[in-house]
Chain A
């Protein structure tokens, strides 16, 4: 078992290394940070541009492989290089991970939690009106892409603000110039709409998985046994059925959380949050080679960790896995 796990880990690390390297080569050969300096008024001397780009390891006159070696030797020691403006990629990344985490932690936990609850509820009330309504709603929500959803929420918020005089915020992370309690309230206010836009799709998704799993489990012998030995319907459903039926949803949870860190691109861009997802788009549009490589490396590592996390969650929830 240990040897198998080790082998899997090594092959996964190898995949991440190859993925990150390919992304670096792609970014380094096709993005052009030089253009950022060449277009300036007053014009900058070529020698100056060259030496600046050399400092940041972005000079396209150097062979790609040489730049790659410099980049890798930095990454190995934990230095992800410089942005095109010469700032540290590490600092920027740390700040952005914080922003993304704040948004995603709440969004993912709420989305999956409510989704699982709704799905389990629908399964228990199979074929009744409430089950059908939930099913249709989930189906429709899953057909709405997140960028359409986010914009619809914005339209809704603007309409509500005009009608009811509320002040629901739909851009940025906070209102500058506030302090103390007001600042906290403002941050919470700015969180509402992006969190809803992140949640809705997940609720729909998890409710469908959870309903199917729950239906599979409800007919099984061990649930009947639990009832037969005297547990109430509620206890049997919660302790035995729901827990077993949670396994696939938990696996998805681990994976979506890993990919969400860079996957909230639309939500972050539309609501003006400067997190990792927004950086993915911004760095490409700004020809910021090292930042693109860093985001890509980060995303690959996230997927790797998500795989490990899902293994752990499954082991914790599923009695069969622990026994073998």
Chain B
């Protein structure tokens, strides 16, 4: 069983093990942690504005008296969801577009790859920043779609070139001569054979999306209020640096830890799944 071998190799890798443990701890903190905190994230303590960390407010309070611990964990939930959704969509899109371009060839290949080139030339930051004001009041899911739409192109090129060689393999030829339609071959035979590349790509996309979300939110182009994410919290906190640095340090600390743990997993996965890589 290939998947069992891969899983065993993955767990034997020290980096991946640490990464998985760290991610698990962070997930627990994000989803279970709020229940242990003394305050709800919507609660406003009018007796404590911009208070430094204390026994009552573990990570201090914000300008309007919110508990930073509760708000930051709530924001981290959104960042995690955005990261995983964007990675899922963009890697899925890359697999579908790349595999169909490589498998069908001809004008479809040309059109799809030209579209990918075009999206690469367009600076995604600019487009998202221009479009997002029009989505104000809309759902943050739009933002997820926008981020995903601009992060699949390079992987799709890799997938395409790998599909070109897969297409000539015997089992694919056999399937084709048995009369199985192209889209079914892509889903059943091409994509599963690219799974290790896609898994690695999806993992690294998670951290890229989390950073991308935070970066856009830093200028107010990302997640819009009343939603909060780590990005909006860092943006709000960074104005108060250096005087009230806990507003900035706790959300950015969570962000860095999150990205670090995901990157650790991705790096370890690459070692486990890609026989060509050293170490």
Chain A residues close to B by CB (< 8 Å): 15-16, 18-19, 22-23, 26-27, 30-31, 139-140, 142-145, 147-148, 151-152, 154-155, 158-159, 212, 215, 262, 265-266, 269-270, 280-281, 284-285, 292, 295-296, 299-300, 303
Contact = CB atoms under 8 A, between A and B. Distances in A.
Interface in B183-224: 207, 211, 214-215, 218-221
Given A15-B118, A144-B256, A145-B214, A295 B126 contact: yes
A295 to B, nearest CB: 7
A159 B241 CA distance: 11
Contacts of B126: 23, 280, 284, 292, 295-296, 299
A154 B130 contact: no
Contacts of B255: 145, 148
B278 A215 contact: yes
A143 B256 CA distance: 6
Nearest to A127: B279
Contacts of A140: 260
Contacts of A15: 117-118, 121
Contacts of B267: 139
B252 A284 contact: no
Interface in B38-57: none
Given A154-B241, A155-B241, A143 B127 contact: no
A143 B123 contact: no
A155 B125 contact: no
Contact of B130 (A30, A145, A159, A212): A30
Interface of B: 117-118, 121-123, 125-127, 129-131, 133-134, 207, 211, 214-215, 218-221, 234, 238, 241-242, 245, 248, 252, 255-256, 259-260, 263-264, 267, 278
30 contacts: A16-B121, A18-B118, A22-B122, A23-B130, A26-B131, A30-B130, A30-B133, A139-B260, A139-B267, A140-B260, A143-B207, A143-B263, A145-B211, A145-B214, A147-B214, A147-B218, A148-B234, A148-B252, A151-B248, A154-B242, A155-B242, A158-B242, A159-B242, A262-B123, A266-B215, A266-B218, A269-B219, A280-B125, A281-B129, A296-B123
B247 to A, nearest CB: 11
Given A151-B252, A281-B219, A31 B130 contact: yes
B125 A303 contact: no
B246 to A, nearest CB: 11
Given A19-B118, A143-B263, A299 B256 contact: no
A312 to B, nearest CB: 20
Given A143-B263, A145-B211, 17 more contacts: A15-B121, A19-B122, A23-B130, A26-B131, A142-B263, A145-B259, A147-B215, A155-B242, A215-B278, A266-B215, A270-B238, A285-B219, A292-B130, A295-B126, A296-B126, A299-B126, A303-B121
A269 B260 CA distance: 25
